[in-house]
Amino acid sequence: MQLPRPVGREAASRKYDILSALMAFALSQDKHVQRQILRIMALITTRYNWQRDELTMGQAEIARMWSVDDRTVKREMARLRAQGWLVLKRQGARGRVSVYGMDLNRMLEDTRPAWPLIGEDFVARLDPAGTAPAGQGTSNVVPLRAAPSPVADGSVWAAAQARLHQEDAAIYGAWFHALTSAGLEANCLTLAAPTRFHATYVATNLKERLLRALRQIDPSLRDVRLLG
Domain boundary among 93, 126, 159: 126
Domain-located, residue 23 = yes
pLDDT value, residue 208: 87
The mean pLDDT value for 112-135 works out to: 74
pLDDT value, residue 148: 61
Query: Do both 210 and 113 map to the same domain?
Result: no
d(CA 35, CA 135): 29
d(CA 118, CA 130): 16
The mean pLDDT value for 137-150 works out to: 45
pLDDT value, residue 121: 85
Instruction: Determine how β-strand 99-102 pairs with β-strand 54-56.
Output: antiparallel
CA angle at 95 for the pair 93 and 101, rounded to the nearest 5°: 55
When pLDDT is cut at 50, 70 and 90, the band that residue 62 belongs to is very high
Domain-located, residue 160 = yes
Q: What is the pTM of this model?
A: 0.58
* CATH number of the domain encompassing residue 189: 3.30.300.180
The runs of H, that is alpha helices, within the chain are 11-27, 31-47, 59-66, 70-83, 104-111, 115-118, 120-126, 142-145, 156-167, 169-171, 196-201, 207-217
**Which phi and psi angles does 179 have, rounded to 5°?**
-80, 140
pLDDT value, residue 102: 92
* Structure-model confidence comparison of residues 5 and 180, the more confident one: 180
Domain boundary among 92, 126, 160: 126
pLDDT value, residue 181: 87
Angle between helices 31-47 and 11-27 (to 10 degrees): 160
96: which DSSP letter?
A: B
Domain-located, residue 2 = no
Domain-located, residue 141 = no
Domain-located, residue 6 = no
Q: Could you report the per-residue pLDDT of 70-97, keeping only the tens digit for each?
A: 999 999 998 888 888 999 998 877 778 8
The mean pLDDT value for 111-135 works out to: 74
d(CA 129, CA 207): 36
Q: Could you report the per-residue pLDDT of 186-220, keeping only the tens digit for each?
A: 889 899 988 877 888 888 878 888 889 889 988 88
Query: Do both 66 and 106 map to the same domain?
Result: yes
Query: Do both 113 and 188 map to the same domain?
Result: no
Query: Do both 24 and 110 map to the same domain?
Result: yes
Query: Do both 73 and 28 map to the same domain?
Result: yes
* Structure-model confidence comparison of residues 101 and 155, the more confident one: 101
Query: Do both 81 and 45 map to the same domain?
Result: yes
Domain-located, residue 87 = yes
Domain enclosing residue 167, as ranges: 147-227
Domain-located, residue 139 = no
207 burial type by CB count under 10 A (0-12 exposed, 13-18 middle, 19+ buried) = middle
Residue 50 has pLDDT above 80, yes or no: yes
Average predicted confidence (pLDDT) for the chain: 82
Query: Do both 82 and 181 map to the same domain?
Result: no
Domain-located, residue 138 = no
Instruction: Tell me how many domains the chain contains.
Output: 2
Instruction: Determine how β-strand 180-185 pairs with β-strand 99-102.
Output: unpaired
Query: Do both 83 and 115 map to the same domain?
Result: yes
When pLDDT is cut at 50, 70 and 90, the band that residue 10 belongs to is low
Which of 219, 213, 203, 210 has the alpha carbon at shortest distance from 163? 213
* CATH number of the domain encompassing residue 58: 1.10.10.10
Amino acid at 51: Q
